[in-house]
Amino acid sequence: MLSRGEIDALYRTHGHAVYRRALRLLQNEDDARDVMQDVFVELQRRGEQFDGRSSIATYLYSMTTHACLNWIRNRRTRLRLLAGYRPGPELIPARGEGRALAVELLAMLSPDDAALAIYLHCDELTHGEIAALRGCSRRHVGALAARLQRRLEEKLA
């Protein structure tokens, strides 16, 4: 378990990066701040899960991605309620519908598939960069990406 001083030091050093990552995924400052706090609380509770296979920055990046995906999944009820409301096309921004569909699709995927989708399509990471994050080969990332594509096509069909 990490000490309070170690958590404080990590927060001062990496808090801004965690916040930026959460803000990029959630597109909401308040939600991003909440996720940032959740990440560091979880790090304090379960710091022993960091095994040192990657840098602490990579570990926090992954933790933040998963925390944001959980945050998005928790929005599912809100999306279901909004799905019944259909405003006229003049009220819907062009990006809004696509973003809502993306959030809904992410909520339907497993945490690993959702993280992979974000790495590929939002962050535009290469297979090599994703392989480094996930601790696997580029070839495996390619296979996972192909499987993800099939799953997304099934969900959209």
Every domain of the chain and the residues it spans: 1-74, 109-157
Q: What burial letters (b/e) apply to 64-95, b meaning 16+ CB within 10 Å?
A: bbbbbbebbeebeeeeeeeeeeeeeeeeeeee
The pTM assigned to this predicted structure is 0.58
DSSP 67-90: HHHHHHHHTHHHHHHHHT----GG
Residues 6+ apart with CB under 8 A from 135: 53, 54
Q: Cα(108)–Cα(118) distance, rounded to whole angstroms?
A: 14
- pLDDT per residue over 41-84, tens digit each? 998 888 777 777 788 899 999 999 999 988 887 776 555 555 55
| Predicted pLDDT of residue 76 | 64
Q: Say what the pLDDT of residue 49 is.
A: 77
pLDDT of residue 88: 46
**Confidence at residue 65, expressed as pLDDT on a 0 to 100 scale:** 93
What is the pLDDT at residue 129? Answer: 84
CB 17 within 8 A of CB 61: yes
* pLDDT average per 10 residues of sequence, the chain (157 residues): 84 95 91 93 83 85 92 69 50 58 80 87 85 86 90 79
Residue bearing tokens 């990590």: 10
Tell me what pLDDT residue 4 has.
83
**Distance (Å, whole) CA 118 – CA 110:** 12
Residues 6+ away with beta carbon under 8 Å from 125: 119, 133
Amino acid sitting at position 22: A
The CATH fold of domain 1-74: Rna Polymerase Sigma Factor; Chain: A (1.10.1740)
DSSP secondary-structure letter at 157?
Answer: -
